[in-house]
Structure 1
Amino acid sequence: MKILVVLKVKNHHKKWLQKSAADAELRFLPTDQVTESDLADVDAIIGNVPTELLPAAKKLRWLQLNTAGADIYCKDGLLKDDVLLTNATGAYGLALSEHLLAQLLAMMKKLYPYYDNQKAGLWRDEGAVASIEDATVLILGIGDIGRAFARRVKALGAYVIGVRRRAGAKPVGIDELGTMAELPALLARADVVVSVLPGTSETTGLFCKERFAAMKKGAYFLNIGRGSAVVTDDLIEAVQAGRLAGAALDVTDPEPLPADHPLWRTPNVYITPHISGDDHLSATQDKIVQIAARNLSAFLHGVSLENLVDRNTGYKH
């Protein structure tokens, strides 16, 4: 059994994977060094290999992603039907929820304009600020990341509404649960709207002119899911018109965002270059490897894997 590992790993991560590998042959190789020949005889891959190389993996039976988002690996014909696809759901809640909280507080407390003033040597009061306490926070996508953010803003006094595709049991830490069918009415109530949605056909272009018009005037919008969920020109228009008090984006459409794109220079839009997750926080990297190690053991023992992805929806089963 040959397993190719393209994750960024430290020595203790290698030991975790080797402990789970039993008699399998593990090969560690940086993603940017992987070639088609490296994939020709592998039974499993741990880590996100470039999709254009995957057709060379003729023997592949399992692909473990190091991301929670799996959309680009769900495209028709990319993987054979019998290939197991698993993601890293559960690894990113801490890092992404803290990133969202930092962005939201920076907007609410006007830290961005005060930093601009600092660089200009300008001592100036920027006026009224907002608070998370008593704010209604609407979170679209209440998986691990959405629930982690909900816990943090609820601890600061927010009323939290979660949105999922279908009705179901209300998760702990969510005050109210709604569905996508109820979205227009929910948007009108929210002081803060957060998208943690994956990239799917259902989410593409969801936040368009109509959705931004439905939002409460002066609301804050944050997107940490996929840039494809937002019609960028409509977002720019909503911010410029004062419909939104601010927008914080860790993902954009297009991505990477071209240097001459007007979104960069739209006042009250704050952009980070899709860096909230990745392996910037050591705890995230540890959790990714722990998920991969558990699944490696399960794969080699022929038992069910965690975080199996439904390739029709792009979501975890």
Structure 2
Amino acid sequence: MHDLIVNMLPLREEERDRFLQSAPAVRQVFTGDPAERDAPSWSQHLPEDVLEEATVVIGNPPVDLIRRCPNLRWMQTWSAGFEEYAAPGVLPESAMISNATGAYGQAVGEHMFAMMWALMKRLPAYAVQQTHEQWLDAGRVLSPEGGTALVIGTGDIGRHFARLARGVGMRTLGVRRKAARSLPEIDEMHGFDDLPELLPRADVVAMVVPSTPQTRHLLDREALAALSPHAIIVNAGRGDAIDTGALAEALHGGRIWGAGLDVTDPEPLPKGHALWSEPRCLITPHIAGSNHLASVSDAIIAIALENERRYVSGEKLHNARR
């Protein structure tokens, strides 16, 4: 069976030409809307008439549609997350999956860094005061200089955050599965088994882990209790890495300084949840990794283009997840 590549990226004409040149002997169908190229999110358009024939899909179509691609050999997501497509029964067993890891480090790392600063300087409290036309001192603040950042998950995003943290005088502790592998942005590298001993040392806990049985409630009630009262948590990985109820209790009781959440569990956070009204919590709606930063879109497209070249050449894919 011949390949059919269905490309859902919102490519400009010159970008589309580069994909055609990278696989000149392969039929390619482009379904993305170029008008969305600079939009914060992209449409997920996978036409019904290509489902049976598609062997490659570049994009993030709805799971119910991708299930109906029986001849799929490779899927390239435009997200770092890929778990829903790797679930049993979604793709043919032999199909490969690769993702866009490497595209989001700057955007998400900077978002986490901004959340850290905002909480340290009580900026959310002043923003609320402004809406009420109040001129009040919100109290003492924190500085990152001389502090310790515990980065749980030291991939592209975690490394970028660590680099920024070191730039303002913080010491960085990293946690990853393969603790023997050192990184220039991390002063000390540890395995997950060391987490109980590391939490009391942390002034900032930056979490960028995927959703797995091993990472669920990594910060549970016991772990939160180990943190110092001036500790700040920033999570831009997956919401279920934190016990949301225990976090709400810790914040309400003043047992930690604050939390910045770009992800929650459940997501979206339901109306009436305690975290919405918690003054120590800063929440953004899972937008840190969206395409708000132009370099993110450019990197997603570059990763997909290089992997298309590798696919047609029979080379190993970048970011292969299975």
Question: TM-score, normalised to structure 2's length?
Answer: 0.92
Please list the CA deviations of residues 225-268 of structure 1 after superposition, one character each: whole Å capped at 9, or x if unmatched. Answer: 00121111111011111111110000011112223322211221
Question: Unaligned 5+ residue runs, structure 2?
Answer: 33-42
Identify the residue that residue 96 of structure 1 maps to in structure 2: 108
Question: Unaligned 5+ residue runs, structure 1?
Answer: 311-317
Identify the residue that residue 9 of structure 1 maps to in structure 2: 11
Say which SS state the counterpart of residue 321 (structure 2) adopts. Answer: coil
Equivalent residue runs for 1:96-115 within 5 Å: 96-115=108-127
Say which SS state the counterpart of residue 91 (structure 1) adopts. Answer: coil
Provide the aligned C-alpha RMSD in A: 1.4
Q: Distance in 2 between matches of 1:159 and 1:122?
A: 37
Q: Distance in 2 between matches of 1:229 and 1:196?
A: 9
Say which SS state the counterpart of residue 56 (structure 1) adopts. Answer: coil
Change (3 A) 1:161 1:28: same
Matched, 1:181 2:193: yes
Matched residue pairs, number?
310
Say which SS state the counterpart of residue 137 (structure 1) adopts. Answer: strand
Equivalent residue runs for 1:27-176 within 5 Å: 27-30=29-32, 31-176=43-188
The answer to whether the 8 A contact 1:16-1:290 is kept is: no
Please list the CA deviations of residues 198-235 of structure 1 after superposition, one character each: whole Å capped at 9, or x if unmatched. Answer: 11121112221111111122200010000121111111
The answer to whether the 8 A contact 2:206-2:235 is kept is: yes
Matched, 1:276 2:302: no
- My pick for the range that moved more, 101-110 or 28-37, is 28-37
Q: Distance in 1 between matches of 2:142 and 2:237?
A: 24
Structure 1 stretches of 4+ with a deviation exceeding 6 A read none
Give the letter aligned to residue 157 of structure 1. G
Q: Distance in 1 between matches of 2:158 and 2:311?
A: 29
The answer to whether the 8 A contact 1:137-1:193 is kept is: yes
Please list the CA deviations of residues 161-189 of structure 1 after superposition, one character each: whole Å capped at 9, or x if unmatched. Answer: 01002321210121101110010110110
2:23 corresponds to which of 21, 24, 29: 21
Change (3 A) 1:32 1:171: closer
TM-superposed CA distance for 1:35, in Å, is 4.3
Matched, 1:218 2:220: no
TM-superposed CA distance for 1:22, in Å, is 2.0
TM-superposed CA distance for 1:36, in Å, is 4.2
Please list the CA deviations of residues 108-135 of structure 1 after superposition, one character each: whole Å capped at 9, or x if unmatched. Answer: 1111111212222211122211111111
Question: TM-score, normalised to structure 1's length?
Answer: 0.94
Q: Distance in 2 between matches of 1:130 and 1:175?
A: 22
Change (3 A) 1:85 1:33: closer
Please list the CA deviations of residues 122-158 of structure 1 after superposition, one character each: whole Å capped at 9, or x if unmatched. Answer: 1112221111111100000000110011111101100
The answer to whether the 8 A contact 2:175-2:191 is kept is: yes
The answer to whether the 8 A contact 1:69-1:199 is kept is: no
